[in-house]
Amino acid sequence: MKGKEVLSACFVLFGALLVWPILTIVNRATLVAGIPALVLYLFTVWVGIVGLIAWAAWRAGGDEP
C-alpha cells in the first residue's frame, strides 16, 4: 500500500471508531482501573491514531515521491 492509501484507511477506520453510535456503546457508568470507560476508550483510540500514523509516516519515509 502506498502512503496515501494507508492514511486514507486510517481516516476511515478512526472516523468510524469515533462516531456517536459507537461512543454510546462505551459510554457507561463503569470504571476500569478507576478511569471512566469512555475516557479510556477515547485515549486508546487516540493512541492508536498516533501510533498508526507514525508507523505509516516512518514506512513512507524511504519512498521516492
Query: Has residue 65 been placed in a domain?
Result: no
Give the pLDDT band of residue 65 (cuts 50, 70, 90): low
pLDDT tens digit string along 29-64? 888 899 999 999 999 999 999 998 888 888 777 655
Boundaries of domain holding 27: 3-60
Q: What are phi and psi of 45, to 5 degrees?
A: -65, -40
What is the average per-residue pLDDT within 16-22? 91
Question: Contact 21/28 with Cβ under 8 angstroms?
Answer: no
Give the predicted TM-score (pTM) of the model.
Answer: 0.78
Long-range contacts of 32-39 (CB under 8 A, 24+ apart): none
Query: Has residue 31 been placed in a domain?
Result: yes
Residues comprising the chain, all counted: 65
Query: Has residue 55 been placed in a domain?
Result: yes
Query: Has residue 30 been placed in a domain?
Result: yes
pLDDT exceeds 80 at position 4: no
Between 3 and 19, name the one with better pLDDT: 19
CA angle 50, 54, 60 (to 5 degrees): 150
